């Protein structure tokens, strides 16, 4: 038996000005064939689980490509075509396919990146089974449902069950190939655009939906997935979905409908309302004077207050260079602030030329025009010292992407009194304390830590923090949908249209 195993991941923010060429997929572009296999062997991705299952089954394994890019703007046509053509060509030489996809890819030439790929594969090989692992934030489409035999998505956000999801999807596909099951997929999509901050698996409404999915699996459904969707993709329906895999159509459809009904009844719980930025910073300032930790999630009463700049989060397509939160923090007199990572390649280049120890006046941040939102900002002028220059590499300690080597590009630690900024060449999620410690900054010793992050920082930074404040402003990952000029959304949809009914 020959099994094709491939990875093609991208969450597309159609409003993001950050480009997505082929080179964006991976540290130095995608990996192919033996390199793709080696990159995922022993890892914690869904593709890693597929490889382990195929090896255990004694199958011959084809790994034509492994490609994952940080969320950003629409995937370049040349990049999308290259990745899809690579997978489609390899499909001629296999008996079945296991695909590690995201579910929210939009390309310059495709509004439905995954659906169009699956349609090509199924049209070319209608008898070959296809199993798919998806991200929890996938925007499920009819093409995905029609052209896959098994679909399973993550149940955690932050995503720490990527491997387990691959194992689940792969196991079902192998059982199908062995003739043990004949899986049937059912799907319910709701007219509900969720906010990413409300899609965390511990957020009450999402938690209840995921628990219902787990209960369905315990009661005979082969797989039940709740996909929150990714609303910053301006497509017809970037909405929450329920996908079930069952032994028969009736039970699968009933399970999907039951979970969807639960979601709709708690739809307000999937909507996040941002307080004004000034109020958020004021709350952080008040919290800093307290001697106790804010919540059970936080673990250090002497630690920093985290300022989570979710309006400029690179893992939702942010530029990582907006300065609104820092400007408001400085205006309100916050001291001893650590910032990072701030993406400003021009500033990094100037610092690299000046060298460690040099004093410099820089125009920092606010350099990528947010044209899709009609917003132009001015850089902030700061004078300070270049304390450290590095290649920006570190190893993630976990729990997400444990052991993965990361590169922020050339990186500098710029110090302006007690304000310390980690400035990078690349947009980068603060996955790990290594974002700071790799350049000699101890984040636990700051009073405030400004993170360009929404969710992934939490498992690592909350244990060293006293508390946190979610900060929203005018960036391309803002939770304020009023900022976004949606053109392709099908109406009515909640919460854009508060009177939306379901079923219609």
Domain ranges for the chain, please list them: 2-270, 277-478
Angle made by CA atoms 67, 202, 408, in degrees to the nearest 5 = 35
Per-residue pLDDT of the chain (504 residues; tens, 9 = 90+): 999 999 999 999 999 999 999 999 988 899 999 999 999 999 889 999 999 999 999 999 999 999 999 999 999 999 999 999 999 999 999 999 999 999 999 999 999 999 999 999 999 999 999 999 999 999 999 999 999 999 999 999 989 899 999 999 999 999 999 999 999 999 999 999 999 999 999 999 999 999 999 999 999 999 999 999 999 999 999 999 999 999 999 999 999 999 999 999 999 999 999 999 999 999 999 998 887 887 878 889 999 999 999 999 999 999 999 999 999 999 999 999 999 999 999 999 999 999 999 999 999 999 999 999 999 899 999 999 999 999 999 999 877 777 878 889 999 999 999 999 999 999 999 999 999 999 999 999 999 999 999 998 999 999 999 999 999 999 999 999 999 999 999 999 999 999 999 997
Q: What is the 3-state secondary structure of 346-405?
A: HHHHHHHHHCCCCEEEEEECCCCCEHHHCECCCCEEEEEEEEEEECCEEECCCCCCCCCE
Q: Which of 317, 153, 131, 120 is nearest to 229 (CA)?
A: 153
Angle made by CA atoms 234, 235, 236, in degrees to the nearest 5 = 130
Residue spans of alpha helices (H) in 409-483: 434-437, 458-461
Q: Which of 475, 377, 461 is nearest to 427 (CA)?
A: 475
Residue 146 pLDDT? 98
Distance CA 296, CA 386 (A): 37
Q: Which of 247, 420, 455, 220 is nearest to 335 (CA)?
A: 420
Distance CA 185, CA 244 (A): 6
Question: Cis link prior to 341 (omega < 30° from 0)?
Answer: yes
Q: Which of 245, 270, 264 is nearest to 255 (CA)?
A: 245
3-state helix, strand, coil in the chain (%, to 5): 35, 25, 45
The answer to whether residues 421 and 388 touch, using CB atoms and an 8 Å cutoff, is no
Distance CA 9, CA 2 (A): 23
Distance CA 41, CA 25 (A): 18
End-to-end Cα separation, the chain, in angstroms:
46
Residue 292's CB is within 10 A of a number of other CB atoms, namely 9
* 356 Cβ contact partners less than 8 Å away, ≥ 6 residues apart: 386, 387, 388, 389
Q: Reduce the DSSP state of residue 280 to 3 states and report it.
A: helix
Beta bridge partners of 362: 382
Residue 403 pLDDT? 81
The answer to whether residues 98 and 5 touch, using CB atoms and an 8 Å cutoff, is yes
Distance CA 402, CA 312 (A): 24
């Amino acid at each position: 038996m020959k099994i094709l195993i491939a990875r093609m991941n991208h969450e597309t923010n159609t409003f993001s000005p950050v480009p997505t060429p082929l080179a964006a997929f991976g540290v130095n572009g995608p990996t192919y064939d033996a390199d793709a296999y080696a990159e995922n062997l022993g890892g914690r991705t869904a593709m890693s689980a597929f490889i382990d299952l195929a090896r255990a089954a004694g199958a011959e394994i084809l790994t034509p490509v492994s490609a994952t890019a940080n969320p950003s703007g629409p995937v370049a046509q040349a990049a999308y075509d290259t990745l899809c053509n690579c997978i489609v060509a390899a499909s001629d030489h296999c008996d079945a396919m296991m695909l590690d996809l995201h579910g929210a890819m939009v390309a310059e030439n495709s509004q439905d990146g995954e659906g169009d790929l699956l349609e090509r594969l199924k049209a070319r090989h209608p008898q070959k089974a296809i199993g798919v692992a998806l991200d929890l934030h996938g925007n499920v489409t009819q093409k995905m449902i029609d052209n896959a035999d098994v679909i399973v998505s993550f149940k955690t956000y932050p995503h720490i069950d990527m491997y387990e999801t691959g194992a689940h999807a792969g196991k079902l596909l192998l059982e199908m190939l062995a003739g043990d099951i004949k899986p049937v997929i059912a799907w319910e999509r709701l007219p509900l655009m969720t906010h990413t901050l409300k899609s965390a698996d511990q957020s009450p409404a999402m938690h209840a939906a995921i628990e219902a999915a787990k209960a369905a699996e315990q009661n005979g459904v082969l797989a039940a997935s709740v996909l929150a969707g990714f609303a910053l993709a301006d497509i017809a329906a970037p909405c929450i979905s329920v996908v079930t895999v069952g032994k028969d159509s009736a039970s699968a459809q009933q399970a999907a409908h039951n979970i969807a009904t639960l979601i709709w009844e708690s739809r307000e719980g999937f909507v996040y309302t941002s307080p004004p930025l000034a109020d958020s910073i004021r709350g952080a300032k008040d919290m800093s004077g307290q001697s106790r930790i804010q919540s059970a999630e936080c673990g250090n009463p002497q630690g920093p207050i985290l300022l989570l700049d979710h309006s400029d989060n690179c893992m939702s397509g942010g530029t990582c260079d907006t300065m609104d939160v820092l400007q408001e923090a400085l205006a309100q007199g916050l001291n001893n602030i650590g910032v990072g990572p701030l993406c400003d390649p021009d500033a990094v280049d100037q610092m690299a030329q000046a060298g460690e120890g040099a004093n410099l006046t820089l125009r920092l941040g606010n350099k990528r025009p947010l044209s899709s939102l009609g917003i132009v900002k001015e850089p902030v002028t700061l004078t300070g010292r270049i304390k450290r220059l590095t290649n920006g590499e570190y190893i993630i300690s976990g729990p997400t992407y444990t052991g993965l080597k990361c590169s922020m590009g050339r990186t500098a630690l710029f110090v302006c009194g007690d304000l310390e900024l980690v400035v990078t060449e690349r947009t980068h999620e603060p996955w790990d304390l290594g974002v700071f410690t790799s350049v000699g900054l101890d984040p636990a010793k700051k009073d405030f830590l400004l993170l360009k992050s929404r969710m992934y920082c939490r498992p690592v930074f909350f244990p060293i923090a006293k508390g946190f404040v979610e900060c929203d402003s005018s960036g391309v990952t803002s939770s304020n949908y009023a900022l976004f000029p949606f053109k392709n959304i099908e109406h009515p949809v909640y919460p854009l249209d508060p009177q939306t009914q379901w079923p219609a």
